[in-house]
Structure 1
């Protein structure tokens, strides 16, 4: 289930908002400049489906976003057996890449077509409170985070997701890290999923 949890930057134990209502998620994120939508993502993908197969299954969605100026498109897909040491090692390395606060020179635009992951967005709310907005995204969720937004992404310790990524500039995915350890003070993806039951 998609969910938005908003916590003050200075108090991760406090919750300003917690909702699973898609309209409320879209409205709250929209108020801070982030687009959140729910699209149809019901294509059956083979276990070994690669980038071309995923993009072909969602060709209409890919074309629609490309027409908005996002000329570079790729797919990130991670899933495997949590008992497979090699998969878990590769997953840990992939997770570590974006688990610290960073920003991009391009909008971060993602369409989740399998599984789930969490974006942690450090933004100032309309009421002036600086907060971390945790968008737990799942299959069918589309999110567009404006360039230069401070954030991090957590796919969990045993990731299982596929997302189509859209870029206006070819190396727009490269992160500029802040060096702030803020991510270490907030609940991880795994902790949030466990708490949701």
Structure 2
């Protein structure tokens, strides 16, 4: 179940809020101009192709595109394997997104399987949104944030873009992300 944890950005040890309540999560994120919703999950194969995911969620994707003007949609995934290749790929992918950055475009992500944590750094606070399968989160453009997929990532997600450049991050150089609870720590919070 989705988890929202909010800290003052100067106190990473004491959450000001921690909740799994959908309405509270929706309200807090709306205050940041972030959109949050849930889609009904559909059965995916063990290692789904981009085409399979896009076809299964065709109607939902078309609705988001129509409402928000997205022109490029893709699917990113990582599936655990007991291989050196997986461990290297997972570590590289995780490291890429762990530093605080922002985008010139909204970052919309739907989790068709698995989970990940988006940390939105706004209004003097860090808002960690532990997204799970079925969650759609839109991080508004120019919002400083980072993403943690954990040390053993396993997810399939749909990404939405307004242009063909896809994911382009502008890194802030801040080390703020190193001070807050990680994906693995938040995953251990009791339901």
Is 1:38 aligned to 2:29, yes or no? no
SS in 2 for 1:133: strand
1:173 corresponds in structure 2 to: 167
1:73 corresponds in structure 2 to: 73
Aligned match for 1:187, one of 178, 181, 185: 181
In structure 1, stretches of 5+ residues that fail to align are 125-129
* In structure 2, distance between residues paired with 1:80 and 1:191: 19
The 5-angstrom pairing of residues 1-197 of structure 1 reads: 1-41=1-41, 43-67=42-66, 68-81=68-81, 83-124=82-123, 130-196=124-190
* In structure 2, distance between residues paired with 1:141 and 1:45: 16
How big is each residue's C-alpha offset from its partner over 1:50-98, in whole Å with a ceiling of 9 and x where there is no partner?
A: 11111011110111112130010000111122x3221111011111111
Report the aligned-residue RMSD.
1.1
Shift of 1:195: 3.4
1:127 corresponds in structure 2 to: none
* In structure 2, distance between residues paired with 1:84 and 1:141: 29
TM (normalized to structure 2)?
0.96
In structure 2, stretches of 5+ residues that fail to align are none
Shift of 1:196: 3.2
Shift of 1:170: 1.9
Shift of 1:171: 1.9
Query: How many residues get paired?
Result: 190
How big is each residue's C-alpha offset from its partner over 1:110-160, in whole Å with a ceiling of 9 and x where there is no partner?
A: 111101000000010xxxxx1000000001101111101000000001101
Shift of 1:102: 0.1
* In structure 2, distance between residues paired with 1:76 and 1:30: 26
